[in-house]
């Protein structure tokens, strides 16, 4: 029965994925402190209140448009609408509500952040457009461009926003340091698409995983999991040993790769998001230390 409850609304938002946003915001804020000596707890709190609802809205709209386009069936990973747990109107209205909460927090941010409001709004708009166009509008997800959009949104755009509202200026300087956790962001999405290859093929969705085929898609997932570890190892060897702190997450990466070898893909996106968060927060801690 399609009854709107808080529990069902939260499940539809896929809160397990919010760790990606938390990690990117933490990274941007840490870089503002490390590079510019700027940090304000109020700004951090508002940044999270802005970005997490946008992420939730993006997830909800993904569910809404996948269902509307007939992409979800009883074999899909997202059964919120297929099973009638919520109505499409419920999902859409919750997404709009999330965006309203985010917009209100943006108005409050303008009163405490040193970054000019027009610059805040410019970067914020890029992030919102990323959430809206993944499945809505041009629907980049359906055109094998979802990977590019998600990597840009949750990597440079989100980190730059979190950095800028703390530091009071937008700069390309921090972006090179975003690469290791951003690669794992792509691993989360690619893991999801790897798991859903059969369903996506049936629904006519084009993803990078489908374009590559099963074998190459699995090889790419392995590369996406391991590359960030190689990058932080290089930093540990060339900058300071403490930069290798994120290597402590390597056992989680090994478990993921083992799951892929066994074909145990059901929880692959969720577990990859867990790896991204642990790796990312260790990485953030290492940047604050050195």
What percent of the chain has a predicted confidence (pLDDT) above 70?
A: 98
User: CA–CA separation, 149 vs 154, rounded Å?
Assistant: 9
Does 76 have pLDDT greater than 90?
no
Q: What is the pLDDT of residues 1-53, one digit of tens each?
A: 678 889 999 999 999 999 999 999 999 999 999 999 999 999 999 999 999 99
Report which of residues 173 and 252 the model is more confident about. 252
Q: Write out the two tokens for 8.
A: 């069902």
Q: In Å, how far are 97, 101, 112, 152, 179 from 107, measured between CA atoms?
A: 16, 10, 10, 24, 30
Q: Is 233 helix (H, G, I), strand (E, B) or coil?
A: helix
Q: Which residues pair with 206 in a beta bridge?
A: 143
pLDDT for position 2: 77
User: CA–CA separation, 48 vs 56, rounded Å?
Assistant: 12
Does 142 have pLDDT greater than 70?
yes
Q: Is 256 helix (H, G, I), strand (E, B) or coil?
A: helix
Nearest CA-CA partner of 143 in 201, 208, 65, 191: 208
Q: In Å, how far are 26, 135, 187, 212, 240 from 59, measured between CA atoms?
A: 21, 9, 17, 25, 38
Spell out a b/e string for 91-129, using b for 16 or more CB atoms within 10 Å of the CB, else e. Answer: bbbbbeebbebbeebbeebeeebebeeebbeebbebbbe
Q: Which of these ranges, 49-53, 55-59, 80-84, 255-259, has the smallest mean pLDDT?
A: 80-84
Mean pLDDT of 171-179: 88
pTM, full prediction: 0.94
8 Å CB contact between 214 and 197 = yes
8 Å CB contact between 174 and 37 = no
Residues whose CB is less than 8 angstroms from the CB of residue 208 and which lie 6 or more positions away in sequence, other chains included: 144, 146, 147, 190, 193, 217, 220
Across the chain, mean pLDDT equals 93
Q: What is the pLDDT of residues 209-256, one digit of tens each?
A: 999 999 999 999 999 999 999 999 999 999 999 999 999 999 999 999
Q: In Å, how far are 86, 171, 196, 198, 257 from 159, measured between CA atoms?
A: 33, 11, 28, 33, 27
């Amino acid at each position: 029965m399609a009854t709107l409850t808080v529990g069902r609304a939260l499940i539809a938002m896929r809160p397990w994925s919010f760790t990606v946003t938390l990690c990117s915001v933490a990274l941007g804020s840490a870089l503002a402190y490390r590079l510019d000596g700027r940090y304000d707890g109020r700004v951090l709190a508002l940044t999270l209140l802005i970005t997490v609802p946008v992420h939730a809205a993006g997830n909800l709209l993904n569910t809404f448009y996948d269902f509307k386009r007939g992409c979800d069936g009883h074999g899909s990973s997202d059964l919120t609408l297929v099973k009638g747990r919520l109505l499409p109107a419920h999902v859409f209205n919750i997404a709009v509500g999330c965006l309203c909460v985010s917009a209100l927090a943006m108005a409050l941010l303008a009163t405490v952040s040193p970054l000019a409001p027009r610059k805040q709004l410019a970067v914020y708009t890029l992030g919102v457009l990323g959430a809206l166009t993944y499945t809505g509008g041009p629907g980049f997800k359906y055109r094998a461009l979802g990977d590019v959009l998600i990597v840009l949104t949750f990597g440079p755009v989100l980190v730059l926003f979190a950095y800028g509202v703390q530091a009071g200026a937008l700069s390309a300087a921090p972006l090179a340091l975003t690469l290791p956790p951003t690669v794992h962001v792509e691993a989360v999405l690619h893991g999801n698409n790897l798991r859903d290859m059969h369903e996506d093929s049936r629904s006519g969705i084009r993803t990078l995983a489908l374009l590559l085929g099963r074998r190459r898609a699995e090889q790419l997932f392995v590369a996406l999991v391991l590359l960030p570890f190689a990058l932080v190892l290089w930093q540990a060897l060339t900058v300071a040993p403490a930069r290798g702190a994120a290597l402590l997450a390597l056992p989680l990466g090994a478990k993921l790769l083992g799951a892929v070898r066994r074909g145990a893909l059901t929880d692959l996106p969720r577990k990859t998001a867990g790896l991204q968060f642990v790796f990312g927060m260790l990485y953030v801690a290492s940047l604050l230390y050195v």
